[in-house]
Chain A
Amino acid sequence: MVSSIPSPDRPTARKTRRTVRTLPLKLPSVILLLVWSIVPLGMTLWFSFERYNLLNPGEKGFVWFENYHFLFTDPGLRAAILNTLLLVGWVLVITVGLGTLLAVLFDQAFFGRGIARVLIIAPFFVMPTVSALIWKNMLMHPVNGVISFLMRSVGLHVIDWFSDAPLTAIIIIVAWQWLPFALLILLTAIQSLDPERKEAARMDGAGPFAMFFFIILPHLGRAIGVVVMIETIFLLTVFAEIFVTTSGGPGFASTNLAFLIYRFALLEFDVGGASAGGVIAIVLANIVAVFLMRTIARNLEA
């Protein structure tokens, strides 16, 4: 392919990078994403100030903050925001806590590490509707579920998860799905730790606990931050797991913000109310996104 050695005085050699027109290469992606992110966002914002119900399309008009007022006095919203925060908070605690411990464990040498690793990461690749239905029917079912069987056989009182503790049940399912994600990323981060630093610490007489708290944990700081932020963005809008298990019930006991908006939009056809809820969800997600973007930007520079 390289038939001749280019000499510097040939005209093509002087063609600098700047002369290549790259705009046509980038522009399609940029325009697509611009349209995709701006148009629906603008529409949501606009609808949130409108009275607009699909069942009653004649009665359409600008109502300023009426939808927000309606939303903030709705008993569902308080429950939904509280449930959203509980869901995000608990899943984060479980996945990051267990994920860190498991990452340290899976960083050690042991027999069959490759296979064990493959098994423990598997839940992350299971589609959410499958995960939720497997847990709901085969594990948490009050009569025939495996968990109920185990609890009965050790003499514990059996819990009817989805009516007695619906939010807890959903937290368990979602945590199970995201634990592998935390583990995978924290394990990658641990393995990037310079082995000489560990060796040096060991030489200085650091025991396993000192090693964990003074060497590994500080090294993991940023990775943990990233896991927390990415999980938060996705966990704020958990939907399928609630959709196929409790449908948000009983009452509002397991309704989160995403499900509340869905309820307004596609069950009550209240476009205005759903859009106002959407704006709240966007604001919440953006608070987290700002921090995440900062971390990523810092990494781009490094």
Chain B
Amino acid sequence: MKKALRKKMVFTVLAWLAAGLVFFPIFWMLLTGFKTEVEAVATPPSLFFRPTIENYVAVQQRADYFKFAWNSIVISLGSTLLALAFAVPAAYAMAFFPTKRTKDTLLWMLSTKMLPPVGVLVPIYLLFRDMGLLDTRLGLLIVYSLINLPIVVWMLFTFFIEVPREVLEAARMDGAKPRDELYYLLLPLSLPGIASTGLLSIILAWNEAFWSLNLTAANAAPLTAFIASFSSPEGLFWAKLSAASTMAIAPILVFGWMSQRQLVRGLTFGAVK
């Protein structure tokens, strides 16, 4: 038994060392957000200091942080709801009324995800320019719901096929229309699955940085693009960068931790279970 305990101790030290190293940049960012700008650049780096929240106040006052946060919220929630609205009926149809082509349709949907965004940057940019969608929240919302649609359909499909068929068939025999089936049975039964699908879609939209950097400017920029504006500032700014970054990633870190188990399913398109 002694030997087993020693082994466990060794693993504990190793694993925590690894976790600490990997987490360090985030930890350091959290810490720096509470330093003054002078302390933030101190060498040797200061570990003990009097925490201040002045950076959090400054980020809002000088850069209007909440405007960009609101953009992020609107775009990621909106695109997720839009994607779900289209995906739920589609996934329902494919899970419960499979045809010969269902599998091919699913695979084809996934394959659209593999188109590199940069390959269609030019046409999307031009189309957006002509339609007046550049630098609008609506434009980005549409793009994100389209990028996430295949993953959302796919994940919902995997959750729906786990719902026992008999329940739905019994209702159908009682004269329930497909729509009733969907609203009163399937949605309540698979609510946890729908929730984690939505969560993944929100996470992906929140962190997306290719389209947000290329399609938005001062008006509709979400947090990814707002943080990028710190790449060429003047003067001391590390503490403010850290404070803004902390606020930008905090909600998604929590969401991510909540849904990590379901994420594997969505992120690997079911190829790893």
Contact = CB atoms under 8 A, between A and B. Distances in A.
Nearest to A274: B122
Interface string A179-218: 1110011001100100000000000000000000000000
Contacts of A226: 268, 271-272
Interface residues of B, number: 101
Contacts of A139: 25, 28
B28 A116 contact: no
A176 B22 contact: yes
Interface stretch (A58-66, A69-77, A129-137, A163-171): A129-137
Given A37-B112, A282-B115, A129 B272 contact: no
B92 interface: yes
Contacts of B270: 296, 299-300
A262 B115 contact: no
Contacts of B87: 29
Nearest to B41: A144
Contacts of B26: 122-123, 126, 134
Interface in B126-166: 126-127, 146, 149-150, 153
Residue among A143, A257, A297 with the highest chain B CB neighbour number at 10 A: A297
A265 B195 CA distance: 38
Nearest to A239: B210
User: What is the size category of the interface that chain A forms with chain B?
Assistant: 35 or more
Contact of A111 (B12, B116, B256): B12
B123 A43 contact: yes
B228 A129 contact: yes
Interface string B96-139: 11000001011101111011111111111111000000000000
A144 B43 contact: yes
Contact of B227 (A127, A143, A239, A288): A127
B228 A243 contact: yes
A13 B172 CA distance: 8
Contacts of B61: none
Contacts of A153: 44
Contact of A289 (B90, B111, B146): B111
A93 interface: no
Given A127-B227, A127-B248, A189-B272, A296 B110 contact: yes
Given A28-B89, A129-B227, A300 B209 contact: no
A112 B12 contact: yes
B249 interface: yes
Contacts, number: 324
A120 B23 contact: yes
A265 B122 contact: yes
Contact of A126 (B11, B93, B253): B253
Contacts of A297: 103, 107
B15 interface: yes
Given A105-B14, A274-B121, A293 B253 contact: no
Q: Is the interface of B mostly helix, strand, loop or mixed?
A: helix
Q: Is the interface of A mostly helix, strand, loop or mixed?
A: helix
Given A105-B11, A121-B260, A133-B241, A262 B227 contact: no
A128 interface: yes
B267 interface: yes
A6 B174 contact: yes
A193 to B, nearest CB: 12
A12 interface: yes
A244 B15 contact: no
B116 A285 contact: yes
A154 interface: no
Residue among A43, A129, A282, A293 with the highest chain B CB neighbour number at 10 A: A129
B49 interface: no
Contacts of B245: 130, 133-134
Given A116-B19, A239-B210, A266-B214, A44 B110 contact: no
A257 B25 CA distance: 28
Nearest to B94: A26
B206 interface: yes
A25 B160 CA distance: 15
26 contacts: A24-B89, A25-B178, A29-B89, A29-B90, A33-B149, A43-B126, A110-B15, A122-B26, A123-B22, A125-B252, A127-B206, A127-B227, A129-B213, A134-B29, A139-B28, A185-B264, A222-B271, A226-B272, A237-B117, A258-B116, A258-B210, A265-B125, A271-B126, A278-B121, A292-B114, A293-B107
Interface of A: 1-4, 6, 10, 12-13, 15, 17-18, 20, 22-26, 28-30, 32-33, 36-37, 39-41, 43-44, 47, 102, 105-106, 108-113, 116-131, 133-139, 143-144, 146, 149, 153, 176, 179-181, 184-185, 188-189, 192, 222-223, 226, 230, 233, 236-237, 239-240, 243-245, 257-258, 261-262, 265-266, 271, 274-275, 277-279, 281-282, 284-286, 288-289, 292-293, 295-297, 299-300
Interface of B: 8, 11-12, 14-16, 18-20, 22-23, 25-26, 28-29, 32, 40-45, 86-87, 89-90, 92-94, 96-97, 103, 105-107, 109-112, 114-127, 146, 149-150, 153, 170-175, 178, 184, 203, 206-207, 209-210, 213-214, 223-225, 227-228, 230-231, 238, 241-242, 245, 248-249, 252-253, 255-257, 260-261, 263-264, 267-273
